[in-house]
Chains A and B, each alone.
Chain A
Amino acid sequence: MKARNISVPAAVVVAVAAAAGGAWWLYISRADAERVVTTEHAEAELVAARDAIAPGQSLLVALRLKAKPGWHTYWRNPGDSGQPTSIEWKLPVGFSAGAIRWPVPQKFAVGPLANYGYEDEVLLATEIRVPADANGRVTLAARAKWLVCDPDHCIPEEGDLSLALPVARGGPSKWSPKFDAIGLPQPAPKTWKLSARREGERVLLEGDGVNEPALLFFPYEEGKVQHAAPQPLERTATGVRLAIPISTQPVGEFTRLSGILVAGGRGFEIDVPVQK
């Protein structure tokens, strides 16, 4: 259950490097291999969008978490069960970390229940703020904890991760394209006029100007909606109406529809007051 660092025999690294051609590969491969923590059900490492740390700037650093095929990790609201991945940063003096920028999750049916999370690989990016007097070589460290589940089992895992980078202006790293491809939720289109009201055991989200054939709402908070229940969508004269079943055991007042609306593979952040 404990995370362990894999150590790739130097001969393998050299062989890979030779096959790939060039001393540059040798350096990168060895550095990567030592940074990756491999557990029974996942691999994890810290990756940065740039190849150096610029003083006084912000840098995006992500936990790259890859679950084994058939296994998944969790979003900020895990759904009916499970646990969000957490990152506890250990940074040099003067550095600070923001909150995780959660990519748009997937919904997994688990019998009559549902979970929200990520299959395969996810990059959980965080903005690291760098002090103006940073210099030399800096090590960013973190303890990451994640719950990884398949439909039958759940395993808590963790890893102590670190990433050393030089302080310099630098440029985009080899991970930069993956950062660009992170499916972060976007602001809702300006042409959408959203309103919500409670009707019986459902919240009806009216989307005037919304012309999507399918919508799915992911709430930021637990205890608001029935995660596993279908959300029927109907057309109206001016757009669409999405019916979202309220939790049978609600936690707190349901005053805002706050979360992500997924349409056509893209996620839009919404925060709409719920009229009684």
Chain B
Amino acid sequence: MQKLFALILFAALPVHAATVGAPAPDFALDNAAGGTVKLSQYRGKYVVLEWVNPECPYVRKHYGSANMQRLQKDFTAKNVVWLSINSTRAGHPEHKPAVEMASWMKKMNAAPSATLLDPKGDAGKAFAARTTPHMYIVDPKGVLVYAGGIDDKRSTDPEDVKTAKNYVRAAFDELLAGKSVSNASTAPYGCSVKY
């Protein structure tokens, strides 16, 4: 019975997943461009974490409309670090090895600081990342200050980007003005992360 219980717990997301207002869990992940990236190496800067899967129609909405690339460019220009993370497990039909992931991002004209690979899903589970896209902001002290959706229009229609309220942009409008985020936790939408 205890064994069964352990299995059930193992199958769920960790009980102590990242929470808004608390220090974000650290990770060390392979960079699609080579080398390893640790979240903690960016202490002193804002870091955006974007969960991505090129095969997901919700991800395609935000890349096809250039919405995601625009956010990446706008905020990396403001000294924000942007990490796009693919937690699709190795062996899943939608899994992309480093080279394919890097070439898709290049084809999309994407501009994250780095594209990271999390085929074991450890980083994704530590953040309780549930969807693609799923967005997080970590502040310069390493505290999670935003977790949730990219915007408030749950759809796969690129046209909706024009009228949606972008939660990441709204959060940075407040953060970069020295305020705290008023909508710090929203419902993410998209495909499930393919753990």
User: 14 A-B pairs, CB-CB below 8 angstroms?
Assistant: A83-B155, A112-B11, A113-B13, A115-B192, A152-B92, A154-B57, A155-B57, A223-B185, A226-B13, A228-B12, A248-B15, A248-B18, A249-B128, A249-B147
- A113 CB contact (under 8 Å) in B18, B55, B187, B192: B192
Contact assessment for B94 and A153 in the assembled complex, using a CB-CB cutoff below 8 Å = yes
Which residues of chain A come closer than 8 Å to B12, judged between CB atoms?
A: 112, 226, 228-230
Is A80 within 8 A of B131, CB to CB?
Answer: yes
Known A156-B156, A249-B147, A249-B185: A81·B192 in contact at CB below 8 Å = yes
Q: Which 8 A-B pairs have CB atoms at the shortest separation, nearest pair first?
A: A111-B195, A81-B192, A80-B130, A156-B156, A222-B187, A248-B17, A154-B191, A249-B147
Assembled-state Cα–Cα distance A250/B188 (Å):
11
The answer, among B11, B147, B155, B156, for a CB contact under 8 Å with A109, is B11
> Could you tell me if A249 and B20 are in contact, using CB atoms closer than 8 angstroms?
yes
In the bound complex, CA of A83 to CA of B192 (Å): 11
Q: In the complex, how many residues of chain B place their beta carbon closer than 8 angstroms to a beta carbon of chain A?
A: 37
Cross-chain contact B18 with A83 (CB below 8 angstroms): no
Question: Which residues of chain B from 60 to 96 have a CB within 8 Å of any chain A CB?
Answer: 92-94
List residues of chain A with CB within 8 A of the CB of B57: 154-156
Chain B residue nearest to A222 in the complex (CB): B187
Contact with A along B3-34 (1 / 0, CB 8 A): 00000100111011111100000000000000
Is B45 an interface residue, CB under 8 A from the partner? no
Q: Spell out A's residues near B (CB within 8 Å).
A: 80-83, 109-113, 115, 147, 149, 152-156, 201, 222-223, 226, 228-230, 245, 248-251
Select from chain A the residue with minimum beta-carbon distance to B134: A81
**Residue numbers in A under 8 Å from B191 (CB-CB):** 81-82, 149, 154
Residue from A110, A155, A251 within 8 A of B192 (CB atoms)? A110
CB distance from A105 to the nearest CB of B (A): 16
Shortest CB-to-CB span from B21 to chain A, Å, is 11
Report the minimum CB–CB distance from B181 to chain A (whole Å): 13
Are A152 and B195 closer than 8 Å at their CB atoms? no
- Are the CB atoms of A249 and B193 closer together than 8 Å? no
